Amino acid sequence: MTHEPLLGGLSCTPKKRGDSILRPGGTNCGGCGMGIAFHMLERAVGERPIQMVIPACCAIVTPGQYPRSAYGVPVVAATFASAAAVASGLAGTAHMNNESTRVVCWAGDGGTFDIGMATLSAAAERDEDILYVCYDNEIYGNTGGQRSSATPIGAVTTTTPRGKTLRKKDIVEILAAHRVPYVASVSLAHPEDALRKMRMAIDMHGFRFLHVLSPCPTGWKSEPAEGIELVRLAVRSGLFPIYEVFDGTRTDINVEPDFAFDALQRYFALQNRFRSDACDLAALAEAIREDWARLRRRALEETTC
Amino acid sequence: MTIELLSANHAAAMAATLAGRANRGARGFGGGVYPITPQTECIEFLCKQEFEKGRIVRVESEHSAMAVCMGFALGGARSFTASSSNGLAYMTENVFAAAMYRLPIVMMAVNRTLGPPWNIWVDHGDTLALRDSGWLQFYCEDNQEVLDTILLAYRLAEDRRVHLPVMVCQDAFVLSHTMMQTDVPSQALVDQFLPPLDLPHRLRDTPVTVGGLDFPHETEVHRIQHEQAMRRVPAVYGEVAREFESVFGRKPAAPIVPYRADDAELLLISMGTTASTVRAAVDRARERGVRVGSVRLRMFRPFPSRELELALMHAQRIAILDRDISLGQGGILWTEARGAAPREALVQNYVLGLGGGDIRPEHILGIIDDLGRRVHAESPEIMEVAT
Ligand code: SF4
């Protein structure tokens, strides 16, 4: 069986009108936040032509096995650290040919916070015309749950069996420091705000970055049905601040948390990945308050100056 | 055509520029570039060029340089990059990926010793470590050949029977920084030689997933197809070389270049600029009545086994000269080429010029003497030629 052309492991299934970005047949775990994020992106994209670059992560296992693919748009399955660089070439070609194609990187926290960081930082510095979405499940998901630099303090993973003792990287701040046109955190529990951001980001030019906290029942050891509730708790407690930064200068806070301590407690209690002895919640609440003080100072300074 | 005084780095960049501009009527030209000694002048030259439809992306690493090329190629553009030594080692994952995606990327590689300890001079170990990456590989002997081979490489890479990336290798400093008279073709001639690229599997609007998940049988099929494409290369090369000659009026070198080999009892096989030194030594030995000749291997992937067998058919003693070493085994050219020797021939491996050690005609004459005197072949001879 060697019929041509089967070049480059190219999978192609016919597109039907109204197909979504991620069509039926995906292999995500039940309750995976990535699927919800895809549906939001789908709405934001509408009829615009898009091409996606997906490095190694759960999202590249999702479409299934060659020669079929559950993706309803053209996708490049890139090497782990290369998404933003492959996307630079694709966007460059579209640009040279006056095409309106929007190029979207869709990557997990491993490909964004860790192995792809240099590539991502360089593409941001070059202000490539790319929308980069990181769906952050805070763990190496498809290798079975190892810590990444996005794993939060207190989380037990297969490589932090006693719970992680370090806090996660602040990816939004890192990207904002590149002074790119748009950086925002996205809450799946606040669909209006999420959709507004995705709609705006897909049409903007230059480098745009969205950070989506993506519930992962498999890695978080949580109930599949409780994903959205968990994100809501993370936002309410201030643990996951929802804001956007324009050009690295103007900071807008989009959702006001109530900083309820019981929201933080509940966020930790609903996930079996957290070891109570590995994380001092009172200390964490204090750290959250400090982060917020800094965030508010910046949001205020930039609007008044 | 105009004759210009160019280093091999500039000749390579000139060829890439001409090839890139030749695709202006199609999807254009793009490349990711990153500096490394002794390749840097190539990408500097490229960054100074103007393209009607082209973009050079100054990336943060070789790994991304190749990734950017993959993006351009997947978008349907012609693409180019250049690297060397540890840069190639760092790029390796994406070197393999470019071939597995079946993308017609052309890369100029300056052969430089891998470190540490750091050494910027020539040996062939860096690109030979990539021999299993699924790329075509050519090793050049002079600057004209570098320029010509890059133009040829695009035709080969973009041929529908091939669709594979091509690495054009040249020796650090010996070529990369040495100026030679180089015949630079006009844009009109290059346009004539290089038709616009129309890559059938580039991304369009249809929902395809490039490089998705293979299970064992799909991988078997993909590898078989890749290998079949490799096996079609020699025939395609012949066609393309003839067309090159009809357009540019000069004949490109064949995959294997014999010298005074017809009546030779002793034959020396080598690659790159070592072969020029070998030819000088062959002439001197011939003056003393030694029936010696040489064979330069220009195409290493696909390996031209049949052509080499024919070239070695009458040789009784064969020296295989390697400017590289697979530690724990011996010269890489030797391990690959010895199978093409006649069964009764004595085949001895000499490893020399590692780390840029200057290979002189006297060293080659010493090898010719040694080869003539040998009773039987022994394990690879690792020579120290540097002083
Ligand atoms: S492991 Fe987590 S992120 Fe991956 S598919 Fe399952 S739920 Fe989604």
Write out pLDDT tens, residues A75-93: 999 999 999 999 999 999 9
Residue A15: what pLDDT?
A: 67
Same domain, B346 and B223: no
- What's the rounded Cα separation, in Å, for the pair A104 and A90? 10
Which range has the worst mean pLDDT, A25-39, B171-185, B228-242?
Answer: A25-39
Average confidence score pLDDT of chain B? 97
Residue A9: what pLDDT?
A: 66
Examine the pLDDT at A10 and tell me if it is beyond 80.
no
Examine the pLDDT at A293 and tell me if it is beyond 80.
yes
pLDDT category of residue A185 using cuts at 50, 70 and 90: very high
Q: In this structure, what token pair is assigned to residue B76?
A: 């349907």
Q: How many domains does chain B have?
A: 2
Same domain, B38 and B179: yes
Tell which one of A135, A142, A143, A213 to mutate to probe ligand 1, the residue whose CB is within 8 A of the most ligand atoms. Answer: A142
How many angstroms does the Cα of residue A204 sit away from the middle of ligand 1?
Answer: 29
Residue A17: what pLDDT?
A: 57
- What's the rounded Cα separation, in Å, for the pair B140 and B273? 7
- What's the rounded Cα separation, in Å, for the pair A226 and A31? 8
Write out pLDDT tens, residues B189-243: 999 999 999 999 999 988 889 999 999 999 999 999 999 999 999 999 999 999 9
- What's the rounded Cα separation, in Å, for the pair A287 and A82? 34
- What mean pLDDT do residues A8-19 have? 68
Q: Do A7 and B163 touch (CB under 8 A)?
A: yes
A with B: how many residue pairs have Cβ under 8 Å apart? 201
- What mean pLDDT do residues B13-27 have? 98
More confident residue, A111 or A279: A111
- What's the rounded Cα separation, in Å, for the pair A80 and B94? 10
> Can you give the CATH number for the domain in which A234 is found?
3.40.50.970
Q: Identify the three-state secondary structure at position B140.
A: coil
Burial class (CB within 10 angstroms; exposed 0-12, middle 13-18, buried 19+) of A21? buried
**Residue B291 placed within a domain:** yes
Pairing type for strands A102-107 and A50-54 reads parallel
Which range has the worst mean pLDDT, A12-16, A61-65, A191-195, B79-83?
Answer: A12-16
- What mean pLDDT do residues B248-261 have? 97
Same domain, B261 and B243: no
Q: In this structure, what token pair is assigned to residue B136?
A: 């075509």
Same domain, B132 and B260: no
Residue A104: what pLDDT?
A: 98
Q: Nearest CA of chain A to the CA of B174: how many Å? A: 33
Mutate to test the interface with A, among B68, B94, B103, B163 (most CBs of A within 10 A): B68
- C-alpha triplet B261, B254, B4: angle, nearest 5°: 110
Examine the pLDDT at A3 and tell me if it is beyond 50.
no
Same domain, B125 and B99: yes
> Can you give the CATH number for the domain in which B260 is found?
3.40.50.920
**Residue A22 placed within a domain:** yes
**Residue A1 placed within a domain:** no
Residues in contact with ligand 1 (CB, 6 Å cut-off): A 28-29, 32, 34, 58, 137, 141-142, 216-219
Amino acid sitting at position A220:
W
Q: Do A93 and B27 touch (CB under 8 A)?
A: yes
Average confidence score pLDDT of chain A? 93
Task: Give chain A positions within 8 Å (CB) of B206.
Answer: 12, 15, 74
Examine the pLDDT at B1 and tell me if it is beyond 80.
no
**Residue A291 placed within a domain:** yes
Residue A304: what pLDDT?
A: 58
Q: Which of B248, B281, B298 is the last residue of a domain?
A: B248
Domain that includes residue A203, residue range: 6-304
Q: Cite the beta strand spans of A198-253 per DSSP E.
A: 208-213, 243-246, 250-253
Write out pLDDT tens, residues B112-166: 999 999 999 999 999 999 999 999 999 999 999 999 999 999 999 999 999 999 9
- What mean pLDDT do residues B313-329 have? 97
Residue A302: what pLDDT?
A: 64
Burial class (CB within 10 angstroms; exposed 0-12, middle 13-18, buried 19+) of B154? buried
Looking at residue B336, the DSSP 8-state letter turns out to be H
Place of tokens 């590149």: A178
Q: Nearest CA of chain B to the CA of A101: how many Å? A: 9
**Does B162 touch chain A if contact means CB atoms closer than 8 Å?**
no
**Residue B138 placed within a domain:** yes
Q: Which of B248, B264, B279 is the last residue of a domain?
A: B248
How many angstroms does the Cα of residue A131 sit away from the middle of ligand 1?
Answer: 22
- Which residue, among B195, B304, B204, has the nearest Cα to B243 in the 3D structure? B195
Q: How many domains does chain A have?
A: 1
**Does B92 touch chain A if contact means CB atoms closer than 8 Å?**
no
pTM: 0.96
Same domain, B194 and B282: no
Domain that includes residue B160, residue range: 2-248
Examine the pLDDT at A131 and tell me if it is beyond 70.
yes
CA-CA distances (angstroms) from residue B276 to B297, B382, B387? 12, 21, 21
- What mean pLDDT do residues B178-196 have? 98
Residue A1: what pLDDT?
A: 36
How many angstroms does the Cα of residue B300 sit away from the middle of ligand 1?
Answer: 44
Query: Quick one: what percent of chain B has pLDDT higher than 90?
Result: 98
Task: Give chain A positions within 8 Å (CB) of B103.
Answer: 8
Examine the pLDDT at B343 and tell me if it is beyond 80.
yes
**Residue B387 placed within a domain:** no
Considering CB atoms only, which of B57, B204, B214 is closest to A88? B57
- What's the rounded Cα separation, in Å, for the pair B241 and B249? 11
Residue B79: what pLDDT?
A: 98
- What's the rounded Cα separation, in Å, for the pair B295 and B292? 11
CA-CA distances (angstroms) from residue B178 to A97, B18, B87, B378? 38, 21, 21, 37
Q: Which residues have C-beta within 8 Å of that of residue A17, sequence separation ≥ 6?
A: none
Write out pLDDT tens, residues A235-277: 999 999 999 999 999 999 999 999 999 999 999 999 999 987 8
Same domain, B377 and B273: yes
Q: Cite the beta strand spans of B248-377 per DSSP E.
A: 256-259, 266-270, 292-297, 299-301, 317-322, 346-351
In degrees to the nearest 10, what's the CA dihedral of B211, B213, B218, B223? 40
Write out pLDDT tens, residues B356-366: 999 999 999 99
**Residue B343 placed within a domain:** yes
More confident residue, A15 or A291: A291
pLDDT category of residue A301 using cuts at 50, 70 and 90: confident
Residue of A nearest to B60 (CA): A122
Same domain, B140 and B180: yes
Q: Which of B248, B278, B295 is the last residue of a domain?
A: B248
Query: Quick one: what percent of chain A has pLDDT higher than 70?
Result: 93
Residue B387: what pLDDT?
A: 80
Same domain, B301 and B213: no
**Residue A100 placed within a domain:** yes
**Residue A63 placed within a domain:** yes
**Does B228 touch chain A if contact means CB atoms closer than 8 Å?**
yes
